[in-house]
Amino acid sequence: GAGVSQSPSNKVTEKGKDVELRCDPISGHTALYWYRQSLGQGLEFLIYFQGNSAPDKSGLPSDRFSAERTGGSVSTLTIQRTQQEDSAVYLCASSPKGLAGGPRNTGELFFGEGSRLTVL
């Protein structure tokens, strides 16, 4: 597809279970971001990838959260032993390659529709 695709769109799980959330960025976009948005709140940064590496993992809230990206494309966010406070919409965004401030890179992030996680 033309946009950022996330799956599943909705996930309901029981406390203590592991979940995997998937993000398919726009083809050719080298940067990929994960955010979390709790009900009525702003976006909370989790992690960002440049290619397959993650230079900034500072936003991951605990060691139960991990993410990987393979082939410079698809990324998976994994939450182990889910807790009720993990309930949120998890948003993925990607941005294209280009020189700073150059015409090919406006710095714009393209977001997916999110994965809504509910932990019972």
Partner 1 sequence: DAKTTQPTSMDCAEGRAANLPCNHSTISGNEYVYWYRQIHSQGPQYIIHGLKNNETNEMASLIITEDRKSSTLILPHATLRDTAVYYCIVRVPTEGANNLFFGTGTRLTVIP
Q: Which residues bind partner 1 (CB under 8 A)?
A: 4, 30-31, 33, 35, 41-43, 45, 48-50, 55-56, 59, 91, 93, 95-101, 105-114
Closer to partner 1 by Cβ: residue 84 or 102: 102
Residue 116, number of CB atoms within 10 A of its CB: 16
d(CA 91, CA 42): 12
Closer to partner 1 by Cβ: residue 5 or 66: 5
Closer to partner 1 by Cβ: residue 71 or 107: 107
- Provide the β-strand partners of residue 53: 50
Q: How far is the CB of 10 from partner 1 (least distance, A)?
A: 11
Q: How far is the CB of 111 from partner 1 (least distance, A)?
A: 3
d(CA 71, CA 75): 9
Phi-psi region of 4 (alpha: psi -120 to 50; beta: other; left: phi over 0): beta
